[in-house]
Structure 1
Amino acid sequence: MGKNRQAPNGILGFPVAPLTEAGVLDLNGLEANIDFLLDRGLTSIFIACGAGELHAISNEEYRSMVEVAVKKTKGKVPLYTGVGGNITVALEQAKISEELGTDGYLILPPYLIDPSQEGLYNYLSEIIESTDLSAIVYNRDNCVMTTETLGKLCEYPQLVGFKDGVGNMETVAEFTHLFGDRLEWINGMPLAEVTMASYMNLGYNSYSSAISNYIPHISALYFEALKNGDKKVSKEIYGEVILPIHRIRKQKKGYAVSLIKAGMKIVGLPVTTNVRAPIAPVEEEHYAQLKEIIEKALEKYPVKISTTN
């Protein structure tokens, strides 16, 4: 391939786009978000993706977010950006990502159009081949790939990963069987911890964790329990933390983003609960429910403070 294209794996960190009370992008808040994820041991950073409200930021804001992420992650963990939507804008974002020195990008679905597989291949391949950065395709919404389409995309050395946000286990099993170690397989389902046990059985060893923005040590504890076959710990965390948060998340569309910001505010990170339209903020009732879950979780699973000098 000519260059090291080691795909990110493990628990992947997806920072938000912190906004002030006036709705202005807060780069200091973003720095704090990234520092928090790095300090808690997340294995990579994905900036300006779905959780980072890619749909609602300008390319100027995009560049600023990427610049902050590059400064914070340089030499520490892989840094990926989000690109997608309008093909012209996606290509501009890919160039910005390359110019600023990121490792790669996650390609989000095309804007509005429900494409044929030919059109989908053209969209993804044009972005993939536009730079020499590593690329991850995201199987979700109007970007659901067939075996043939993914197989053709695998001919590009830039393609290093496949993120699934559909949950069709028959297709997931077929993909991992056919393409095996060619790609890193990433669980991108809503609140990925909910389905991670099933995905691991099919060869998935990575996932994007929304709750890692506020309780990353609990996500890590759960993941380790799954890998080690510790059913007692995994069942307790699943029942006491993961499912209750997931039930709140399902109450309203857009909570995939706004509930993250609520959790971050609850644990004391410098972020407001502001989001940009068309995402709606978390309702007070749901905020209170999330706060109770997090407080109980932190009481039972406290953050271990390192005593190393």
Structure 2
Amino acid sequence: MQTNKLTGILGFPVSPFDKNGALDEHALHRNITFLIEEGLEAIFVACGAGEFHAISKAEYGAILDVAVDATQKRVPLYTGVGGNIQDALSFARLSEEKGADGYLILPPYLINGEQNGLRAYLSAIIESTSLHAIVYQRDNAVLEGDTLESLLVYPQLVGLKDGIGNMEQNIEFTQRFGERLLWLNGMPMAELTMPAYWPIGFHSYSSAISNYIPHISRCFFEALKRGDHEAVRTLYKDVLLPINVIRRQKKGYAVSLIKAGMEIVGLPVQEHVRAPLVPVEKSHYKQLAQILENAHKKYPRNHISL
């Protein structure tokens, strides 16, 4: 897979669970297919939105099998790897074995390490396979410039996804390392920060709302790229900011609100999430349903002008 395909809107499917808490492989296949049909440029499974923290190794393998079958090499397929170093290495090798194109390296488990420790963690994973690797900067995994530069010896390292929001550092990174890496915006509700990220070279982002209103994500991104500030402001007012108000009400809504939105629009996903996440409260669910009803009336899926 060409890494230059990792531009634009990236799909991060959830891991659907049935009423008994089991992985719903049929729903996952349908949801991945939906994202590809909607034009998302890549698929990332078993990452944060996919509740990486809560799935077993057997489920991880099943998710990969479903994703490989659903994508059929039409778009790049990435997985999430992380946690403790032994599990991270195991997941990376399994990703290679099952035919993924690369992986997103999530933060190490619990520990706030020194830069040389973080480098050792990332290096061990990157050099364990020939797959493309993207480093996810967030939580307890925050790189300094020299640490990132030291990792560039690995040709497998193709990108950095930022979930911190330190724009001074992001400008330093993009100016210092330029086109050596792909730059991905991984902030929560990334549409809200893309106007700041786009001009400095972050031309790709993970979109939570693309799981249920991908045409809105596309409408927003195309307006941003062409400099249509009025269209961007209108989408913020009508859809993006109201959803974000709900997302910020509870910890974990970054995942459970996606599942609620998918259920509301009729995709085969139930609201079930695994502890310690909690489902969306009924009042918030109703608010989201109203926002989505209004959004579909004003921005009908088949009549969006890009």
Taking structure 1 as the reference length, the TM-score comes to 0.97
- Residue 282 in 1 paired to residue 280 in 2? yes
Q: In the alignment, what sits opposite 2:104?
A: 106
Partner of 2:222: 224
- Which residue of the other structure, out of 20, 29, 32, is the alignment partner of 1:31? 29
Percent identity, aligned pairs only, is 61
- Contact kept? 1:9, 1:206, Cα under 8 Å: yes
1:142 correspondence with 2:140: yes
| Corresponding residue SS for 1:12 | strand
In 1, Cα distance between equivalents of 2:207 and 2:3: 22
8 Å Cα contact 1:7-1:160 kept in structure 2: no
CA RMSD of aligned residues (A): 1.2
Structure 1 ranges of 4+ moved more than 2 A: 3-7
Aligned to 2:211: 213
Q: Aligned partners of 1:297 and 1:5: how far apart in 2?
A: 33
The Cα offsets for residues 11-46 of structure 1, whole Å up to 9 and x where unpaired, read as 000000000011110000101110110110100000
Matches within 5 A, 1:63-212: 63-212=61-210
Task: Give the partner amino acid of 1:37.
Answer: L
Stretches of structure 1 that go unaligned for 5 or more consecutive residues are none
Following the alignment from structure 1 to structure 2, what is the Cα–Cα distance between the partners of residues 231 and 305? Answer: 20
Q: Measured at CA, do residues 140 and 267 of structure 1 come closer, stay the same or move farther in structure 2, by a change above 3 Å? A: same
Counterparts of 2:4 and 2:121, CA distance in 1? 24
Residue 262 in 1 paired to residue 252 in 2?
no
1:132, distance to aligned residue in structure 2 (A):
0.2
2:271 to 258, 273, 276: 273
Equivalent residue pairs, number = 304
Q: CA deviation at 1:5?
A: 4.5
Match for 1:168: what amino acid?
A: N
Give the letter aligned to residue 259 of structure 1.
Answer: L
Q: Contact conserved, 2:5 with 2:41, CA < 8 A, in 1? A: no
Q: Establish whether residue 246 from structure 1 lines up as the match of residue 237 from structure 2.
A: no
CA shift for structure 1 position 156: 0.7
Which amino acid in the other structure matches residue 246 of structure 2? I
Letter in 2 for 1:48: A
Secondary structure of the residue that 2:60 maps to in structure 1?
Answer: helix
Q: Distance in 2 between matches of 1:112 and 1:121?
A: 16
Q: By how many angstroms is 1:148 displaced?
A: 0.6
- Once residues 138 and 6 of structure 2 are traced to their aligned partners in structure 1, the CA distance between those partners, rounded to angstroms, is 20
Q: TM-score, normalised by structure 2?
A: 0.97
| Alpha-carbon distance between aligned partners in 2 of 1:243 and 1:152, rounded to the nearest angstrom | 39
Note if contact 2:85-2:108 (Cα within 8 Å) is conserved in structure 1.
Answer: yes
For residue 9 of structure 1, report the CA deviation from its aligned partner.
1.4
> Of 14, 17, 35, which aligns to 1:16?
14
Aligned amino acid, residue 45 of structure 2: I
SS at the partner of 2:73?
coil
**CA positional deviation for 1:6:** 3.8
**Shift in Å at residue 239 of structure 1?**
1.4
